[in-house]
Structure formats: C-alpha cells, structure tokens
Structure 1
C-alpha cells in the first residue's frame, strides 16, 4: 500500500467552495483501479490549508492510472483552480 499526500493551499476566501468541489470530486478518484481510501483534513490553525491523503495499491495506480484518465481531467477542472500554489505530491510506503 502507498500513501499519497499533498498540502493544499487554497486561495483565501475559497474554502467553502473548495469543500463543495471536493465532495463532487471524491467519486471520480474513488472509481479508480487501485484506489483504497481518501482523507481530506482542514488545518486547525490555517483556515485555507488542507491535508490530502489517498491510499493506493501502488504508485502506478495513481500516477499511471488515475492521472492518465478522463476522471483526472474532471478532477482538475473541479479542484485545481483553488490551489495557490499548486501542491507538491509525495508518496510514502509501509509504516514502521
């Protein structure tokens, strides 16, 4: 199992719209082969910062599967306009 993570900095004042768009986008990623779960958490001390965590079977399920799919194009259309700056995505392996 691989854990994808990204810190999502949302443009000021756009958090409510981002949260609505994320609710709409969740089924797109959930339909992807190799997808296991998604968690989005809002920062306690920064109103426009979120932590995205997605569990995948492997990196290829995200990078070569979801990101190469039409669902990802829809995901981009729903969510990418909220980011400033664009998030960096990282992957983590098995827990210790």
Structure 2
C-alpha cells in the first residue's frame, strides 16, 4: 500500500467552505479511482488554512498514472483548486512500521 500525502494551503477565511468541498471531492471523485484504499483529512489547529490529505493507494501507479492521467483528476482539481493559496506539496510513502 502507498500513502499519498498532500500538504494543502488554502486562502484565508475560506476554511468552512473548503471543509465541505474537500470532503465532497474525495468521496465523489477520488474514491472511485482504481486502487483507492481510503483517506484521512486533517485540518491545522495552529494554522487553520493548512490541510493534510492522506490517501491510501494500492500502488504508486494507481495515483500517478491511473488517477492523475484521467479526467477524474481534472474534475478533482476543478473542485478544490479555487481555494488554494499555493500549489499543494504532494509526496508518496511506503509503510516502514506501525503499532498494533
């Protein structure tokens, strides 16, 4: 399993709207993608305009090829990008260890 982490910074004072929009985008668009395994969205406390989106994929290619090169990626970005203060920073991780 691959973990995608997107560090998202949105425009100030748009958090309430974005809270709904990001959830809708993930559940209505990304969740239908090949290899999608689940997600978590965390919202900053000290920096309320910062969100960390974690998406679990079966393979790296499910995100980088299957999703990113599909019309669904364009649909996802149309939903969330109007709120971005800057482009998100996206990285991928593999599991090293976990607790029980």
Place the TM-score, normalised by the shorter chain, in its bin: over 0.9
Return the TM-score normalized by structure 2. 0.90
Structure 1 residues 19-49: Cα deviation after superposition (integer angstroms, max 9, x where no partner): 1211221220000010001111111211111
Partner of residue 44, structure 2 = 43
The CA deviation at 1:95 is: 2.4
Which consecutive residues of structure 1, in runs of 5 or more, have no partner in the other structure? none
Partner of residue 82, structure 1 = 83
Q: Distance in 2 between matches of 1:22 and 1:12?
A: 16
Q: Distance in 2 between matches of 1:95 and 1:28?
A: 29
Q: Distance in 2 between matches of 1:24 and 1:70?
A: 17
Structure 1 residues 42-75: Cα deviation after superposition (integer angstroms, max 9, x where no partner): 1121111111100001110001011111111110
Structure 1 runs, 4 residues or longer, greater than 6 Å off: none
Partner of residue 33, structure 1 = 34
Partner of residue 6, structure 1 = 6
Q: Secondary structure at the match of 2:72?
A: helix
Q: Secondary structure at the match of 2:68?
A: helix
Q: How many residues align?
A: 96
Q: Distance in 1 between matches of 2:10 and 2:31?
A: 22
